[in-house]
Structure 1
Amino acid sequence: MAEEAPVDYSLSNPDVLTKYKTAAQISQKALETISGWCVEGAKVLEICQRGDKLLEDEIAKVYKGKKIAKGISNPCTISPSTYVTPYTPLVSDAEEAGTTLKANEPVKIQLGAQIDGFGAIVCDTVPARAKSDGDSAITGRAADLMLATHWANELLLRMMLPPGLLATGSEEEQKKARAQRPYTQSKITQLLEKLVKSYDCNLVENTTCWLFERNDIEGKKKIILAPGDGAKGEGLPEVGDVWGVEMGVSTGTGKVKTLNNRATLHRRTATTYGLKRPSSRATLSEIQKKFGTFPFSLRQLDDERAGKIGIVECVRGGVVRQYEVLGSTDGEPVGRLHTTIAITKNGLQKLAAPPSPDLEKVKSDKKITDEEILKILELPLAKPSSAKPKNKKKKKKSAKKAPAVKQEEEDDDEDSDEDSDDE
């Protein structure tokens, strides 16, 4: 009897891209709803709890009756103004459970869903709406931070495109474009730092973008922005990759420190270790069953208090990774974005992405003036979608050549079917 062919988990398999996109749609829908909950006086814990419930409900609606693992790839986390990393307090920690949002502070919302191990994580920074305010314009340093974070993210995405991928012109011109060197990680950081300094801001040190793989949001390749303490990235984006692209910007120095908050976000590692305590083994068993290798919060365990005890040996033995809570050293506000992207032969697709800010309502007296940066920002992320009718036999006489379509950032979803076919 012939052996079964191994399952193709690359983007060459259209089903893989479909699963990524399904997870991404759930993540973005949840992000939109949760953004509306971030108002002055709202409790961070309650938003996180409601956010997880929303994710679970939406995930339950897809791939019903199929033997496909699905769940949360990143629990709902709500990080106040000066927090750098995702934050999700516990019910049993009374002081932190009482943390509330302050009016107009930049709040980082991060969450994600996964279908069959293909995770899509998204993060946006939104100002906590003041009870007395209407839909007023964002000005001053808040505007500087929002614009610096947005444009730095857009610049980074364009620098992640492999050289010549979208080249047009003669065959010789395309060959020349493909022969160009990709941006090195040091060059990427250099240009990003120059951009954010236009708004009198700085990159958050050690902001890391990871290659996404099946059941793994920290793959073999990573890009580290503004690296410190000997940190070093590894590898560059290629066609067929899925990446989690993170951007962190501060109105201060960008330096970070470990806060006194309890580390509540964890993730199973590939390390094996003989746990001695029954409580530790029970906790690890629940983690493996519920979350696999995706991040989770201790408050998602059946017994939060027992989990707080059981997780200690798991972390000490290296079978579970603990995410420390980091914040800015100078107490300055931090903006953070996270975009899950796919790189196909047609360009870069934003699978799960924060919405673009309404630039008409963000007023800053600062702007980008560097010509090299402005030139990169003008580049498209993907090839324009084809306007040709799919069935050429029908309406052959009435078919006319469509005008060129301007490539917008929001076109990514429209190109999905074509990309799936091509891949």
Structure 2
Amino acid sequence: MAESKEVDYSVTHPDNITKFKVAAGISEKVLAAVTKLCVAGEKIVTICQKGDKLIEEEVAKVYRTTKLKGFAHPTTVSPSSYVTPYTPLSTDAEALELQPGEAVKVQLGAQIDGFGSIVCDTIIVQPKDSSEDTVTGRTADLMLATYYANELMLRLMMPPGLLAGGSDEEKAKAAAVKPPTQSKITSLLDKVAKSYECNLVESTTSWLFERNEIEGKKKIVVAPAEGTKGDGIPEIGEVWGVETGLSLSSGKVKNLDQRATLHRRTANTYILKSQNARKTLSSIQTKFGTFPFSMRQLEEEGGDVKYKAGVLDGVRQGVLRQYDPSGDKEGAPVARLLTTFAITKNGITKLGTPPALDVSKFKSDKKITDEEILKILEQPLARNKGKSKNKKKKKPAKKAAKPKEEEEEDSEEDSDDE
């Protein structure tokens, strides 16, 4: 009898990385479309519904023979002080509307054959029929701090010496440097936050991504609350979902007095007693697998309120996980970014990323002055492959961290960035 060949689901397999990239393309495309919908006066539930429809439409266009594809994360639109993704039900009596000037977090994701790409961006809501204006004051501080903290975080995820050049001895010396501990990562990020008089959101967690799993065996916890800690360091051949969260207040978090609507299937097995609960769980397993889903999606699909009892039973027996809504303890604005990327021998390969912040539109009288941080921000995320000599090179993140008046005084610099 012929032995069955084990399927390679690692990121090193070219087919798998392609699936990640296809999912990333969909996630980024839908994110761009959804952010355009986020204008003052729009209902959050309506935006989420449109975003989910776009994900379904885009996923249907690719890998037509692949049954396992769809959502890596439903569309969520979180108001200013919210920390966790927010996805209301269409039947909720209180339909929240976006307010002008608030910092809104948009998070969503697609998956192909279990390889998921999740992205999150923070945008400032514009009034209807209004062109984008320059952002100033504390909102600008928050956005700039979050952007540079995220840029720093991505570079701290790089295994030491990965992009080192020079002789074999110099490369070996660079690779021998110990990776930063999780407490060191928190310390460095906190310096960026404090530069803009902001604070890290407690227990912001980045996870190792695997096939059908967005909360893998490793995690990095920034500013851990009491009783929480990370485990493991990033390595070549891994895919991570890296999150950065900052607040204009203390960064402490509290549970919100709202129904939990975001859930996901766990690895636990239990035969639910009621027929309705078993039917609900089967529907969840078929459409979402082990990826997060919104109760709104079940509501719209079945139109039967009985699904709520089925979800509740699933949570009670541990076969479903419930994500409790949380927000800033003082109700202050919070900004979040989430990037999916792979660590390869050539550095960081982004597999789903929010668009780079146009720092020229955010004016702050604050800046990063710590030399250690500025040096890290200058480092590229990947090797320069020299594909195009005419392609304009990106400036290092360090230079962008300076106020505009200082930029104008500096001479023009080039950088081999990602």
TM-score strictly above 0.5: yes
Supply the AA of the counterpart residue of 2:177. Answer: Q
Q: 1:163 aligns with which of 153, 160, 164?
A: 160
Contact 1:384 1:406 in 2 (8 A): no
By how many angstroms is 1:91 displaced? 1.4
By how many angstroms is 1:309 displaced? 1.5
**Secondary structure of the residue that 2:27 maps to in structure 1?**
helix
Does 1:272 find its partner at 2:257? no
CA distance in 2, matches of 1:59, 1:271: 28
CA distance in 2, matches of 1:221, 1:211: 5
Residue deviations 1:133-156 (CA, integer Å, cap 9, x gap): 422101001100000100000000
Equivalent residue for 1:93? 92
Residue deviations 1:70-118 (CA, integer Å, cap 9, x gap): 10110000000000000000012212xx110000100000000000000
Supply the AA of the counterpart residue of 1:35. Answer: T
Change (3 A) 1:359 1:276: same
Equivalent residue for 2:14? 14
Contact 2:204 2:223 in 1 (8 A): yes
Contact 2:198 2:246 in 1 (8 A): yes
Equivalent residue for 1:241? 238
By how many angstroms is 1:262 displaced? 0.6
By how many angstroms is 1:408 displaced? 7.1
1:148-159 maps to which residues of 2 (within 5 A)? 148-159=145-156
Q: 1:255 aligns with which of 249, 252, 255?
A: 252
By how many angstroms is 1:377 displaced? 0.3
CA distance in 2, matches of 1:321, 1:303: 22
Contact 1:384 1:407 in 2 (8 A): no
1:393-412 maps to which residues of 2 (within 5 A)? 406=393
Does 1:48 find its partner at 2:48? yes
CA distance in 1, matches of 2:77, 2:396: 26
Equivalent residue for 2:355? 355
Does 1:228 find its partner at 2:231? no
By how many angstroms is 1:330 displaced? 0.2
Equivalent residue for 1:72? 71
By how many angstroms is 1:200 displaced? 0.3
By how many angstroms is 1:279 displaced? 1.7
**Secondary structure of the residue that 1:90 maps to in structure 2?**
coil
* Matched positions, count: 394
CA distance in 2, matches of 1:101, 1:67: 37
What is the aligned-residue identity percentage?
60
CA distance in 2, matches of 1:132, 1:25: 29
Contact 1:382 1:407 in 2 (8 A): no
Contact 1:121 1:340 in 2 (8 A): yes
Q: 1:287 aligns with which of 284, 296, 308?
A: 284
Supply the AA of the counterpart residue of 1:315. Answer: V
**Secondary structure of the residue that 2:37 maps to in structure 1?**
coil
Equivalent residue for 1:416? none
CA distance in 2, matches of 1:118, 1:304: 31
Residue deviations 1:226-258 (CA, integer Å, cap 9, x gap): 001210100010000000000110001000000
Contact 1:385 1:405 in 2 (8 A): no
CA distance in 2, matches of 1:58, 1:404: 30
Residue deviations 1:316-339 (CA, integer Å, cap 9, x gap): 100000000000010100000000
Equivalent residue for 1:309? 309
Supply the AA of the counterpart residue of 2:74. Answer: P
**Secondary structure of the residue that 2:26 maps to in structure 1?**
helix
Contact 1:207 1:246 in 2 (8 A): yes
Give the superposed CA RMSD.
Answer: 1.6
Supply the AA of the counterpart residue of 2:52. Answer: D
**Secondary structure of the residue that 2:73 maps to in structure 1?**
strand
CA distance in 2, matches of 1:205, 1:16: 33
Contact 1:81 1:333 in 2 (8 A): yes
**Secondary structure of the residue that 1:180 maps to in structure 2?**
coil
CA distance in 2, matches of 1:174, 1:126: 40
Change (3 A) 1:304 1:375: farther
Equivalent residue for 1:193? 190
CA distance in 2, matches of 1:358, 1:339: 17
CA distance in 1, matches of 2:66, 2:245: 38
Change (3 A) 1:112 1:142: same
CA distance in 2, matches of 1:113, 1:387: 29
Supply the AA of the counterpart residue of 1:67. Answer: T
Equivalent residue for 2:296? 299
- TM-score, L = length of structure 2: 0.92
List structure 1 segments (4+ residues) > 4 angstroms apart after TM superposition.
402-410
CA distance in 2, matches of 1:292, 1:248: 27
By how many angstroms is 1:68 displaced? 4.2
CA distance in 2, matches of 1:408, 1:200: 25
**Secondary structure of the residue that 1:71 maps to in structure 2?**
strand
Contact 1:92 1:305 in 2 (8 A): no
Q: Name the stretch that deviates more: 112-121 or 10-19.
A: 10-19
Q: 2:105 aligns with which of 108, 113, 132?
A: 108
Contact 2:315 2:322 in 1 (8 A): yes
Contact 1:79 1:85 in 2 (8 A): yes
By how many angstroms is 1:405 displaced? 8.1
Structure 1 unaligned blocks of 5 or more: 389-401, 411-423
Q: Name the stretch that deviates more: 375-384 or 2-11.
A: 2-11
Does 1:82 find its partner at 2:81? yes
**Secondary structure of the residue that 1:145 maps to in structure 2?**
helix
Equivalent residue for 1:323? 323
Equivalent residue for 1:123? 120
Change (3 A) 1:2 1:111: same
